[in-house]
């Protein structure tokens, strides 16, 4: 899943694709690099971000989604608002990627249920401007148990709203109301998220827990634009875990890494078949 931020303030590339023409061109570049899905977002969810007006978000994403969908791309809309989801789906999007899992807008699940779209529900506790206040996971089982329990509740809500099970995709929400150690624990415990019975999408690309891991000798985090090698290593791990989707900024690097993992897995399977009695 290739990321196209049609925003002026996203943490990694804010402003680079803010104009529709630039965002559309970026989408085509990501497709050429091997993206299966383009995730188009008009609201930054970086820590501390303030929300745009609904009209602003609509103006940012709908023209881009329409153009890319018309060109044959499978498009996802990254939004927490039911109005934006409905407009994006009408413009040709096939998925709704809701970082709030339906908690930010009570009408979201109804809109998705009525349209038949696939729905990515992320683990979420609060909006970006104060989500750090909710990064506490002190109950038994820690962050992995809490994320699984809270996602399971969201699945119940989705099913109750009429969203069929085969349309549900879950995201553990790396970086959202989570400190660096929580993100690492979740990456190590993805099998438990998958055990909830739905495909898993993971977005680790360029996030701050990678920057802090790669901090210099004075404790300064590695800059956002110099975290891609680490993210490629994460993509290898995710591919080995068999996740459904990996949400990335640099599609080519992760696609190449996944190709290596797949080729080695095929070779291992071939050797096992040859050695069987």
Residue of 117, 108, 115 whose CA lies nearest to 80: 108
Q: Are 25 and 6 in contact (CB under 8 A)?
A: no
58 Cβ contact partners less than 8 Å away, ≥ 6 residues apart: 42, 83, 84, 87
Residue of 55, 30, 41 whose CA lies nearest to 7: 41
Does the annotation count 207 as an active-site position?
Answer: yes
Question: Rounded to whole angstroms, how far apart are CA atoms 177 and 179?
Answer: 7
Does the annotation count 247 as an active-site position?
Answer: yes
Which backbone phi and psi does 233 adopt, to 5 degrees? -65, -40
Is residue 72 packed enough to be buried (19+ CB in 10 Å), middle (13-18) or exposed (0-12)? exposed
Report the DSSP pairing between strands 245-246 and 75-78: unpaired
Catalytic residue among 207, 222, 227, 255: 207
Catalytic residue among 60, 206, 227, 247: 247
Which residues participate in catalysis according to the annotation?
Answer: 207, 247
């Amino acid at each position: 899943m290739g990321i196209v931020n049609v925003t002026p303030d996203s943490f990694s590339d804010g402003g680079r694709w803010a104009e529709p023409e630039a965002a559309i061109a970026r989408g085509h570049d990501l497709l050429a690099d091997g993206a299966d899905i383009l995730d188009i977002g008009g609201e930054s969810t970086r820590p501390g971000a303030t929300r745009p007006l609904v009209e602003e978000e609509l103006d940012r994403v709908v023209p881009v989604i329409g153009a890319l969908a018309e060109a044959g791309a499978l498009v996802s809309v990254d939004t927490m608002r039911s109005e934006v989801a409905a407009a994006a789906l009408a413009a040709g999007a096939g998925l709704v990627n809701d970082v709030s899992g339906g908690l930010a807008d009570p009408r979201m699940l109804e809109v998705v249920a009525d349209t038949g779209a696939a729905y990515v529900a992320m683990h979420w506790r609060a909006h970006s401007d104060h989500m750090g206040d909710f990064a506490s996971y002190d109950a038994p089982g820690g962050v992995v148990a809490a994320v699984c329990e809270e996602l399971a509740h969201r699945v119940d809500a989705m099913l109750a709203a009429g969203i069929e099970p085969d349309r549900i995709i879950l995201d553990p929400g790396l970086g959202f109301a989570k400190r660096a150690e929580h993100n690492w624990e979740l990456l190590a415990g993805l099998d438990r998220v998958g055990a909830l019975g739905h495909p898993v999408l993971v977005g680790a690309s360029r996030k701050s827990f990678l920057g802090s891991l790669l901090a210099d000798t004075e404790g300064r985090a590695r800059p956002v634009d110099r975290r891609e090698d680490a993210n490629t290593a994460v993509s290898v791990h995710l591919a080995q875990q068999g996740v459904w989707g990996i949400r990335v900024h640099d599609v080519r690097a992760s696609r190449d890494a996944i190709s290596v993992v797949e080729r080695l897995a095929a070779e291992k399977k071939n050797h096992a078949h040859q050695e069987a009695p």
